């Protein structure tokens, strides 16, 4: 195998290794920057705070209703026990009882409104809790898939590194230096394949003599336009 062929093979390996590391970095970024769980947790927290606040107001309304009922019972007890005999006091007790019953109707309506509002918020909370569970499940599945992909890429990189070591053992040091320098200055593409008598990168026509040189076991041929190493099958 000639030097240009070995360098082309090395380039293919290097590109695949770089793609692998790039994807590994993407996987790290996806896992570390994912905010779906924290966002769902925040929604649950906010919804729970609203629900707790509504529950406190409902309990307060229930307390007012129970307290008013106790007053009504006490008032009725005083009114019908026979203890109070003064007509004026009896009249006052009746007025107070009527007022308490009217107030009880108002408080029970308020209690009902608070109950309906609480139940609506609690239903919303349960939906957000369910959504959070789904988000966590989806993240766990995605995380598992990404880790599996990560392991496969890492295994492939190790295989490619071994192939690279074998390939490097047959490449002359001076040619390797040229290859590395070109990769730095030619956007990662140091070797261009001759395809249909042209440079596959820049499209320049390659003369027969240049194609013949590209097949040399040790010498390297270069594209007269882009300066890349030419490789010919």
Is position 154 within any domain? no
- Residue 44 domain boundaries: 34-146
Is position 162 within any domain? no
- Domain shared by 42 and 138, yes or no: yes
Is position 120 within any domain? yes
Is position 155 within any domain? no
Quick check: 93 pLDDT over 80?
Answer: no
- Domain shared by 10 and 91, yes or no: no
Backbone CA torsion sign across 69, 70, 71, 73: positive
The pTM assigned to this predicted structure is: 0.72
For the stretch 121-145, pLDDT in tens is 999 999 999 999 999 999 999 999 9
9 falls in which pLDDT band (50, 70, 90)? Answer: very high
- Domain shared by 16 and 56, yes or no: no
Quick check: 84 pLDDT over 70?
Answer: no
Is position 22 within any domain? yes
Torsion angle of C-alpha atoms 10, 14, 17, 23, degrees rounded to 10? -150
Quick check: 217 pLDDT over 90?
Answer: no
Per-residue CA distances from 100 to 79, 80, 85, 90, 103 (Å): 13, 16, 21, 15, 5
16 falls in which pLDDT band (50, 70, 90)? Answer: very high
Quick check: 89 pLDDT over 80?
Answer: no
**24/226 Cα distance (integer angstroms):** 32
pLDDT score of 83: 73
CATH value at residue 194: 1.10.287.1490
Is position 157 within any domain? no
Return the residue matching tokens 């230096």.
177
Quick check: 78 pLDDT over 90?
Answer: no
- Domain shared by 103 and 131, yes or no: yes
pLDDT score of 54: 97
pLDDT score of 43: 97
User: How many folded domains does the chain comprise?
Assistant: 2
Instruction: Lowest mean pLDDT of 70-74, 167-171, 214-218, name the range.
Output: 214-218
| Interval 70-80 mean pLDDT | 83
CATH value at residue 104: 1.20.58
- Domain shared by 13 and 48, yes or no: no
| Interval 158-184 mean pLDDT | 97
- Domain shared by 60 and 21, yes or no: no
- Domain shared by 23 and 54, yes or no: no
**End position of a domain, from candidates 112, 146, 180:** 146
**187/174 Cα distance (integer angstroms):** 20
């Amino acid at each position: 195998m000639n030097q240009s062929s070995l360098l082309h093979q090395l380039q293919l390996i290097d590109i695949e290794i770089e793609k692998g590391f790039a994807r590994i970095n993407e996987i790290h970024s996806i896992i570390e920057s994912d905010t779906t769980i924290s966002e769902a947790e925040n929604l649950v927290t906010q919804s729970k705070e609203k629900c707790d606040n509504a529950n406190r107001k409902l309990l307060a309304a229930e307390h007012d209703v129970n307290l008013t009922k106790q007053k009504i019972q006490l008032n009725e007890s005083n009114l019908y026990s026979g203890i109070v005999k003064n007509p004026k006091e009896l009249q006052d007790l009746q007025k107070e009882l009527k007022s308490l019953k009217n107030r009880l109707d108002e408080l029970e309506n308020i209690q009902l409104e608070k109950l309906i509002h609480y139940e609506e918020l609690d239903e919303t909370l349960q939906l957000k809790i369910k959504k959070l569970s789904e988000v966590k499940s989806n993240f766990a599945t995605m995380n598992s898939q990404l880790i599996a992909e990560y392991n496969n890429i890492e295994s492939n990189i190790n295989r490619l590194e071994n192939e690279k070591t074998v390939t490097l053992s047959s490449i002359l040091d001076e040619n390797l230096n040229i290859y590395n320098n070109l990769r730095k200055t030619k956007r990662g593409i140091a070797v261009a394949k001759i395809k249909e008598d042209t440079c596959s990168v820049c499209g320049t026509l390659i003369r027969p003599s240049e194609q013949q040189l590209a097949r040399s076991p040790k010498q390297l041929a270069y594209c007269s336009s882009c300066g890349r190493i030419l490789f010919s099958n």
